[in-house]
Amino acid sequence: MVENFPVPFTDNHLQHEDFQLFSSSFAARTEEMLPTVKEVLFFNSEELPPHSPENAESEMLKKLYRQIMSGELFYGVADGVLLFSFQFLDAPPVITAGYGGDSEFLRRLDEIWLEEVREKLEGEFTLLREARIDQETGLLNLANLQSVLDSWDTTPGFFLLLVELPGRRQTWLRDHRYLEHCARALRDFGPDRSTLHYIGSLTFALLLSADPAMDIPGNHDFEKRLVAWLKKEGCCRVHIGSSRKAVPNEENHTAGRTLLNEAWTALQYAEKRGPFSFCTWLQLAWPDLHPLAPASSGVRRKISRLAAKEKQFELLLVEADDHNALLPDFEEEFTHSAVISDDSVSAWFFFPVSKNSEAMKLAKQLMNRGEAKGRTFSAGIAIFPFYDFRKSEILQNCRKALIHASFFGSSSVVEFDQTSLNISGDIYFGDGDLISAVREYRRGLASPPVNPDGSEEINLYNSLGVTLALMNRTASAMENFNAALRLAPKNFMAMYNLGLALHDSGEDETAFLSFEKALLSSKREGSEEIDDETLQDLLFQLGNAACLCRRFADADRYFNEWLKKNTDQRKNGRVWSRLGEACHGLGEFRRARDYLQKALNLDRFNAVAMALLGDTYLQTGEGSDIALTLCRKSLEIEPQNWAHRIIYARALAAEGQFAEARSELADCMRSKRWRSAARLEMAQLCLATGEKRSAERWFRRILDSEKHGNTTYIAARTGLKACR
């Protein structure tokens, strides 16, 4: 039997969306083909958009536009504007508007000539499209990315992320399926204003417009969420390197290729940080701008000399909340005891420890004096000794305390403690520096507790567990989530995170129970605030775990709850296959068929959907030949899937190929997990062919090996009665 090549041949016809993706290139070529025309724009709305040039506001032009959009006319000229259309079978036309054309040229314009021009343009546009599309994924390719980067002067500001998703080396078909899965996961995550490119070797480029109203990389939240999303979607490893192009009102004349080089360099650093990591060029290029950047060497030397002979001391760091220079506000204090940093924005004060906290008293005095002058100041205090920190680390502790103080607003002072380490750990985690984050969280857990209820330890255990999970240290991650639950048995985040870790470990039944406890905790009055995105993901994880545990009624319920809450229709495809599996398990084959067909429309290599859809056709009597074809194709993709092979044997029997079905089932009995299911199918096959004695023997073997009361046992007992 000849198998179809897994990558379909691309449609060479021009697509409706191409006029949006390649609008600048299409417009430039159209201007060359239309003499004297100075500007070309493409429109596909019902009415001429108001943001078009001023002469587009005329009623005559609007009427002509409607006539061409409806197909009444192919082209026309009104108020010096040339309009003509590109037609599509399954989409509205795209209207081409040419502005600035010479009046004599427009007057003598010939329809036949214009149709020839349009035909040539369609051919050139198609060739340009083929050159810019990756044949394997259907995404934009490296050539298009280079074109965008080279049009630096005309492109609005944007962010560039390079996303590397290394997989496990397998067969070409499995590698291709993994590539398609990764591309779909990135498409589902990407905001509307993003453009996704595939540049080869399981590496993607994501361009995002620099819209201030949009959630974009900058504080690294976008990269963190993308890494977490791709991990949940089953990507083996995730590395992200990013850089940014300045928005138009910023002075930046860097070439577009430099942006790519910066993101590439950041990606190389991300690869060294662990299996799920990211890095931004900003961190590498300007380390001094990092909030936890060390003090200058001059400050370190001065404080080192002061602390050399002291066994105990306090250190105070003061900065203006407006980040401007401190002088001359504290000139008197600077003269006597301060160590001013090189930028004159920070001031450090050193105090040998006495009975009264001199550092705290001075901090409050400085704040009061600043408020009298209309300025506000914040401060961080660190003491030595503290836990196992060396003297040289106390300066950094002071900086961490100051960052901690910023959480309380202006005119705040904080003494370094366990919470300061939690915050600094979060900063490193946000940078993608997971090793440093783990160090901070562990030191926080070893430090004296700040709250009697242990709330800070709970946060630290959770944060440490999430970080270790991203480092693929799942067992250690679960230990920390369980430690958090020992302190707070109803803590939502600990239960949710533990469920994710258990799922990664293949403990789906326990994961489901943990997710259910988390859902119950979220509904409890007075529970911690949980964002909608996390709750939505919890419903998805509950449905997924329920399906894996064969709790099909629960899976159906949770997935339908998820669908009600999910407003992004692009992501609905995540649940079709699982919903189809749940409905199939419940015996609701009509519903299962609809969901499974949707899943296959989205992913033509979904072996689970193929096998279950084939079985659905068998159960509903809609065609055993189609069922056999689907089951055979599912085994081409996953030849060692025993569950699918049992369904395949059922399809063979339905087609009268009993010898082949028996051979397939005998092979399935080699699997300890699927042995009873294969025996049950064999018994039912014997019963259907009138071999009651053989069927009875198979049913008895199942009753001897299965636990009393489970579904396979009940089915075997029912079958045994039928034999009699």
Provide the b/e sequence for 634-660 (b: ≥16 CB within 10 Å).
bbbbbeebbbbbbbbbbbbbbeeeeee
Q: Is the peptide bond before 385 cis (omega within 30 degrees of 0)?
A: yes
3-state class percentages of the chain: helix first, strand second, coil last, to nearest 5: 55, 10, 30
Which band of pLDDT confidence, cut at 50, 70 and 90, is reported for residue 187? confident
pLDDT for residue 659: 85
558 touches 582 (CB < 8 A)? no
pLDDT band with cut points at 50, 70 and 90 for residue 265: very high
Per-residue model confidence (pLDDT) at position 425: 92
- What is the rounded average pLDDT of the residues 662-679? 84
The DSSP letter of residue 140 is B
Tokens of 299: 């400050």
Do residues 490 and 521 lie in contact, with contact meaning Cβ atoms separated by under 8 Å?
yes
Q: What is the pLDDT averaged over residues 214-221?
A: 49
Model confidence at 12, pLDDT cuts 50, 70, 90, reads low
pLDDT, one tens digit per residue, over 628-639 is 888 888 887 777
The pLDDT of 29-45, averaged and rounded, is 86
Q: Which of these, 165, 695, 214, 236, lies nearest to 472 by C-alpha position?
A: 236
pLDDT at residue 264 tops 70: yes
**Average pLDDT in the 206-223 region?**
60
Indicate the residue type of 594: D
Q: How confident is the model at residue 1 (pLDDT cuts 50, 70, 90)?
A: very low
pLDDT in tens, 106-116: 888 888 888 88
Which position has the higher pLDDT, 391 or 639?
391
Average pLDDT over the chain, rounded to an integer: 81
pTM, two decimal places: 0.77
For residues 312-321, give the mean pLDDT.
86
Amino acid occupying residue 106: L
- Beta bridge pairs of residue 128: none
Least confident of 189-198, 399-408, 553-562: 189-198
Tens of pLDDT, residues 278-308: 888 888 888 877 888 888 888 888 888 888 8
Q: What is the DSSP letter of 327?
A: T
Tokens of 428: 């490193």
**Cis amide linkage into residue 6, ω under 30° from 0:** no
- Checking if the pLDDT of 10 tops 50, the result is yes
Higher pLDDT, 84 or 59: 84
| Residue 361: predicted pLDDT | 84
Structural domains in the chain?
18-132 (3.30.450), 142-285 (3.30.70.270), 300-416 (3.30.70.270), 669-724 (1.20.58)
pLDDT value at residue 48: 72
How far apart, in whole angstroms, are the C-alpha atoms of residue 611 and residue 701?
27
CA distances to 138, 190, 447 from 183, in Å: 9, 11, 44
Listing from the earlier edge strand, what are the strands of the sheet with 81-86?
39-43, 94-99, 81-86, 75-78
**Which 8-state DSSP code applies to residue 415?**
E
Q: Which of 8-22, 47-61, 627-641, 680-694 has the lowest mean pLDDT?
A: 47-61
**Is pLDDT at 248 greater than 50 in this prediction?**
no
> Hunting for tokens 């536009």 — which residue is that?
65
SS3 state of residue 542: helix
Give 392 or 441, the one with higher predicted confidence: 441
Within 13 Å and on the Cβ side, how many CA atoms surround 340?
16
Three-state secondary structure string covering 88-137: CCCCCCEEEEEECCCHHHHHCCCHHHHHHHHHHHHHHHHHHHHHHECCCC
CB 611 within 8 A of CB 634: yes
How many CB atoms are located within 10 Å of the residue 236 CB?
A: 16
Kindly state the average pLDDT of the residues 320-336.
Answer: 65
User: Residue range 709-714: average pLDDT?
Assistant: 74
Residue 212: predicted pLDDT: 43
pLDDT for the residue numbered 420: 92
337, pLDDT greater than 70: no
Q: How confident is the model at residue 52 (pLDDT cuts 50, 70, 90)?
A: low
Q: Determine whether 187 is exposed, middle or buried from the number of CB atoms within 10 Å of its CB (0-12, 13-18, 19+).
A: middle
Out of 573-577, 644-648, 703-707, the most confident range is 644-648
Write the DSSP string, 453-510: T-HHHHHHHHHHHHHHHHTT-HHHHHHHHHHHHHH-TT-HHHHHHHHHHHHHTT-HHH
Side chain identity, residue 695: A
- Report how far Cα 83 is from the mean position of its chain's Cα atoms: 42
Region 655-664 average pLDDT: 84
> Angle at the Cα of 418 (from 449 to 367), degrees rounded to 5?
115
Q: In what order do the strands lie in the sheet with 377-384?
A: 338-340, 346-352, 313-320, 377-384, 413-415
- Confidence tier at 103 by pLDDT (50, 70, 90): confident
- Judged by DSSP in three states, 385 sits in coil
Residue 215 has pLDDT above 80, yes or no: no
Q: Which of 9-23, 530-544, 587-601, 662-676 has the lowest mean pLDDT?
A: 9-23
Does residue 54 register a pLDDT over 60?
no
Of 16-20, 31-35, 103-107, the one with minimum mean pLDDT is 16-20
* Residue-level pLDDT at 565: 80
Out of 53-67, 188-202, 357-371, 480-494, least confident range:
53-67
**175-189, 327-341, 612-626: segment of lowest average pLDDT:** 327-341
Q: What is the mean pLDDT of residues 646-656?
A: 85
Q: What are the Cα distances from residue 490, in Å, to 78, 192, 441, 493, 519?
A: 70, 37, 22, 9, 10
Give the total residue count for the chain: 724
For residue range 415-444, list pLDDT tens digits in order: 999 999 999 999 988 888 889 999 999 999
Is residue 157 over pLDDT 70?
Answer: no
Neighbours of 63 (CB within 10 A): 12
User: What token pair was written down for 355?
Assistant: 């009975």
**CA-based radius of gyration for the chain:** 33
What percent of the chain clears pLDDT 70, i.e. is strictly above it? 88
Tell which residue, 604, 573, 598, has the closest CA to residue 5.
Answer: 604
Taking CA 626 as the corner, what is the angle to CA 622 and CA 629, rounded to the nearest 5 degrees?
155
**Do the Cβ atoms of 111 and 99 come closer than 8 Å?**
no
* Highest mean pLDDT: which range of 56-70, 215-229, 398-412: 398-412
Instruction: Confirm if 16 and 86 have CB atoms less than 8 A apart.
Output: no
Rounded to the nearest 10 degrees, what angle do helices 142-150 and 256-271 cross at? Answer: 130
pLDDT digits (tens, 9 = 90+) for 475-504: 999 999 999 999 988 889 999 999 999 998
Is the confidence at residue 353, as pLDDT, over 50? yes
If you ran DSSP here, which 8-state letter would residue 308 be given? T
Amino acid at the residue 232: K
